[in-house]
């Protein structure tokens, strides 16, 4: 009967199948196998076999000539240090049309990547684990590459003299987004990136102690006119320098994230002197953020639309109220996650709710002492909320859900996981009064039969 | 009003504004091939009637998201052969919404089935030799996520 449907239509059906069906579908008949393989554009594989599986990866991939996206990860703990080279060669020779590659099965060296970069010229995004010593010459042929994510690994002893790299040819790279994890003092190979990424828009650094040669890096940050988003995670030693340079240049910067390691002075310098129209600020700095910073934000970032603070215990109501007044027509998203100021100062949330007239997204997760009446008082003024997250707020009871149902009729996304005092009846009541709800994060056990019917009738996504 | 002729000689009248949900018909009207009636030699009467039911409902209840959702769910509750005929018609007439709906329905039917169950529903012969089948199953040592 399937002969009624032409190849094209059968492929339309295959496109709508989840990846888990591929195994069964490919065994139905030769025609189905052929069509499935030629319509597969994305594969996500876990490398669970031994090195003996190498020849079969090559032939396996060669059956999927239209593959544009491939992800290979490793679930086994044994390391096949010589095999990553062969795996990359298999990929390079079998998948010339690849656009996206995630290769986290094994660390690779710059040398192995040459075969990839010479064959897969359409690659636009790449995620890899790179082993030391770092070398980025292989990036030059990848003219279409916009997104690069590198996890750096390997011995940190300086085994090679870098004089040999002085003659490394520069090449203008088209990278727009760069993400680095784990760089250390010996990683001078990074200087190639600082000299050649002139179009970078997003920079993400995680657990980076050092980024190659400081002078190169500083010149890079300061000169980067296209930089829009910066994320610094657990990179205390680097953060200071970055923030100071961002303050001097980077007028296009619109989003800054600093978690777990910044510097008071660097951050204050940046906030007070930046000429950029920063839209989003996301800070998790228990020891480095205080009211001075918030007051500076209120003065200098007049177009801020999103402020997220996590575990910022030095902040008090005074700083937050200054923000509330200054950004009353601007701020659309506010997060005060695990910020005990919310619990320490009754009435703070009420004031913020009254001031922030444009508030659409509110996140008060993990404030374990937050009381119903504090939340309700804020919700009275925030009737246009679309997103509300209260994960882990153990003190909230059914009353909180009643307030939400009554005051915030526009809610689309709600998170009430781990709110142990909120019960089934309250969840059901909320569901029957929220016509705009699209997603609810709650334990399955809190959904009554009626609630489940409402969920399926209104196509609400439940996430546990 | 537009007149449509199915492959087996049945005629159907439908408003032009409704009929143009089919890109094929829309182009024929624009290219002036539709003076008296439009011949549709690739679609039989029964299937054309069903397709027209779909596009009429989607034209009149355009903004009623919930109503359309339940209509669609009922619409695809037909036997396998008819479903395939509708897919072919939706493809020929170039009606994206209907093609999406019907292809998704078939995909949903297949997705949780075993190989044998799929073959049974579609009446397909297994043309692999046992050796070929064994080799293919071996390939699946790579876990698909």
User: Could you write out the DSSP letters of every residue in A352-415?
Assistant: HHHH-TT--EEE-TT-TT--HHHHHHHHHH-TT--EEE-TT-TT--HHHHHHHHHH-TT--EEE
Question: Which residue among A12, A21, A28 sits closest to B124, beta carbon to beta carbon?
Answer: A28
Which residues of A fall within a CB distance of 8 Å from B143? 45-46, 48, 75
Which residues of A fall within a CB distance of 8 Å from B137? 27
Using CA coordinates, name the residue in chain A closest to B126.
A29
Check residue A262 and report its DSSP letter: -
Q: Which among A181, A331, A206 is positioned nearest to A257, based on CA atoms? A: A206
Using CA coordinates, name the residue in chain B closest to A31.
B127
Question: Which residue among A2, A19, A43 sits closest to B122, beta carbon to beta carbon?
Answer: A2
List residues bridging with A179 in a β-sheet: A149, A204
Question: Which residue among A2, A18, A57 sits closest to B111, beta carbon to beta carbon?
Answer: A18
Q: What is the spatial distance between Cα A194 and Cα A212, in angstroms, rounded to a whole number? A: 9
Which residues of B fall within a CB distance of 8 Å from A8? 91
Which residues of B fall within a CB distance of 8 Å from A16? 103-104, 107
Residue A164's pLDDT is 44
Asked if the Cβ–Cβ distance from B141 to A30 is below 8 Å, we say no
Count CB atoms within 10 A of the CB of residue A35: 19
- Region for B120 from its dihedrals, namely left if φ exceeds 0, alpha if ψ lies in -120 to 50, beta otherwise: alpha
Asked if the Cβ–Cβ distance from B115 to A24 is below 8 Å, we say yes
Residue A2's pLDDT is 66
Asked if the Cβ–Cβ distance from B115 to A27 is below 8 Å, we say yes
Residue A55's pLDDT is 56
Residue A251's pLDDT is 87
Using CA coordinates, name the residue in chain B closest to A7.
B88
Asked if the Cβ–Cβ distance from B103 to A28 is below 8 Å, we say no
Using CA coordinates, name the residue in chain B closest to A2.
B122
Asked if the Cβ–Cβ distance from B136 to A12 is below 8 Å, we say no
pLDDT less than 70: residues of chain B: 33-34, 139-145
Q: What is the spatial distance between Cα A49 and Cα A168, in angstroms, rounded to a whole number? A: 38
List residues bridging with A197 in a β-sheet: A173
Please give, rounded to a whole number of angstroms, the shortest distance from the CA of B127 to a CA of chain A: 6
Please give, rounded to a whole number of angstroms, the shortest distance from the CA of B35 to a CA of chain A: 31
Interface of A with B in 13-32 (CB under 8 A): 13-30, 32
Which residues of B fall within a CB distance of 8 Å from A19? 144-145
Residue A159's pLDDT is 58
Residue A39's pLDDT is 82
Q: Does A50 contact chain B (CB < 8 Å)?
A: no
Q: What is the spatial distance between Cα A207 and Cα A211, in angstroms, rounded to a whole number? A: 11
Interface with B, mutate which of A27, A94, A458 (most B CBs under 10 A): A27
Residue A160's pLDDT is 58
Q: What is the spatial distance between Cα A294 and Cα A323, in angstroms, rounded to a whole number? A: 7
Residues with Cβ < 8 Å from A65, sequence gap 6 or more?
A: A37, A38, A97
Question: Which residue among A24, A26, A53 sits closest to B113, beta carbon to beta carbon?
Answer: A24
Which tens digits make up the pLDDT trace of A226-248?
Answer: 899 999 999 999 998 899 888 88
Q: What is the spatial distance between Cα A240 and Cα A300, in angstroms, rounded to a whole number? A: 19
Residue A163's pLDDT is 45
Interface of A with B in 64-83 (CB under 8 A): 71, 75
Question: Which residue among A21, A23, A459 sits closest to B110, beta carbon to beta carbon?
Answer: A21
Asked if the Cβ–Cβ distance from B145 to A46 is below 8 Å, we say yes
Count CB atoms within 10 A of the CB of residue A228: 18
Query: pLDDT averaged over consecutive 10-residue blocks of chain A (464 residues)?
Result: 81 86 87 87 71 65 84 64 75 88 87 88 93 89 94 78 57 92 89 90 94 84 88 92 87 93 89 93 91 94 95 92 94 95 92 94 95 94 94 94 93 94 93 91 92 84 86
Q: What is the spatial distance between Cα B84 and Cα B106, in angstroms, rounded to a whole number? A: 9
Which residues of A fall within a CB distance of 8 Å from B114? 24
User: How many residues in total does chain B contain?
Assistant: 145
Structure token digits, residue A400: 């909180």
Q: What is the spatial distance between Cα A277 and Cα A358, in angstroms, rounded to a whole number? A: 18
Give me the DSSP letters along A129-169: EEESSP--GGGTT-TT--EEEEEEES--S--S-GGGGGGPP
Which tens digits make up the pLDDT trace of A388-404?
Answer: 999 999 999 999 999 99
A163: exposed, middle or buried (Cβ count in 10 Å: 0-12, 13-18, 19+):
exposed
Which residues of B fall within a CB distance of 8 Å from A18? 111
Please give, rounded to a whole number of angstroms, the shortest distance from the CA of A31 to a CA of chain B: 9
Question: Which residue among A2, A5, A23 sits closest to B144, beta carbon to beta carbon?
Answer: A23
Structure token digits, residue B107: 């995909």
pTM: 0.80
């Amino acid at each position: 009967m399937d002969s009624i449907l032409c190849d094209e239509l059968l492929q339309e059906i295959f496109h709508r199948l989840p990846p888990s069906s591929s195994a069964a579908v490919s065994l139905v008949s030769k025609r189905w196998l052929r069509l499935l393989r030629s319509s597969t554009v994305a594969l996500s594989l876990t490398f669970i076999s031994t090195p003996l599986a190498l020849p079969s990866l090559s032939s396996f991939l060669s059956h999927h000539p239209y593959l544009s996206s491939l992800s290979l990860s490793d679930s086994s703990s044994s390391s096949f240090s010589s095999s990553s080279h062969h795996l990359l060669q298999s990929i390079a020779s079998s998948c010339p049309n690849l656009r996206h590659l995630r290769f986290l099965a094994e660390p690779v060296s710059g040398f192995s990547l040459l075969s990839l970069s010479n064959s897969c010229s359409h690659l636009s995004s790449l995620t890899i684990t790179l082993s030391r010593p770092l070398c980025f010459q292989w990036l030059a042929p990848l003219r279409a590459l916009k997104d690069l994510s590198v996890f750096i690994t390997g011995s940190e002893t300086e085994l090679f003299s870098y004089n040999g790299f002085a003659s490394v040819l520069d090449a203008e790279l088209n990278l727009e987004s760069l993400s680095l994890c784990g760089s250390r003092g010996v990683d001078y190979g990074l200087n190639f990136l600082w000299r050649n990424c002139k179009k970078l828009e997003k920079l993400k650094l995680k657990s980076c102690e050092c980024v190659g040669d400081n002078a190169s890096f500083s010149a890079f940050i300061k000169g980067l006119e296209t930089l829009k988003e910066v994320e610094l995670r657990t990179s205390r030693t680097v953060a200071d320098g970055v923030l100071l340079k961002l303050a001097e240049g980077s007028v296009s910067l619109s989003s800054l994230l600093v978690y777990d390691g910044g510097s008071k002075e660097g951050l204050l310098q940046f906030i007070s002197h930046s000429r950029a129209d920063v839209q989003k600020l996301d800070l998790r700095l228990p020891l480095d953020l205080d009211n001075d910073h918030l007051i500076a934000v209120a003065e200098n970032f007049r177009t801020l639309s999103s402020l997220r603070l996590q575990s910022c215990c030095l902040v008090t109501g005074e700083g937050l109220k200054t923000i509330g007044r200054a950004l009353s027509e601007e701020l659309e998203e506010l997060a005060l996650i695990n910020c005990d100021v919310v619990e320490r100062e009754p009435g703070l949330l009420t004031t913020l709710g009254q001031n922030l007239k444009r508030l659409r997204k509110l996140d008060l997760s993990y404030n374990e002492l937050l009381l119903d009446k504090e939340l309700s008082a804020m919700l009275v003024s925030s009737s246009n909320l679309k997103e509300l997250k209260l994960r882990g707020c153990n003190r909230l009871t059914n009353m909180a859900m009643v307030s939400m149902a009554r005051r915030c009729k526009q809610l689309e996304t709600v998170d009430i996981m781990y709110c142990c005092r909120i019960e089934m009846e309250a969840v059901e009541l909320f569901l029957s009064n929220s016509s705009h709800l699209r997603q609810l994060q709650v334990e399955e056990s809190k959904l009554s039969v009626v609630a489940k019917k409402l969920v399926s009738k209104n196509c609400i996504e439940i996430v546990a | 009003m537009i007149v449509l002729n199915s492959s087996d000689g049945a005629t159907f009248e439908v408003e032009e504004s409704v009929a143009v949900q089919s890109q094929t018909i829309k182009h024929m009207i624009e290219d002036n091939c539709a003076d008296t009636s439009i011949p549709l030699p690739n679609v039989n009467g029964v299937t054309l009637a069903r397709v027209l039911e779909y596009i009429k409902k989607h034209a009149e209840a355009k903004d009623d998201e919930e109503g359309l959702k339940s209509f669609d769910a009922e619409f695809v509750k037909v036997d396998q052969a008819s479903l395939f005929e509708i897919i072919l018609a939706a493809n020929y007439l170039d009606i994206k919404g209907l093609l999406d709906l019907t292809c998704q329905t078939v995909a949903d039917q297949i997705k949780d089935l075993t190989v044998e169950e799929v073959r049974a529903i579609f009446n397909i012969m297994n043309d692999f030799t046992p050796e070929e089948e064994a080799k293919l199953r071996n390939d699946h040592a790579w876990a698909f996520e």
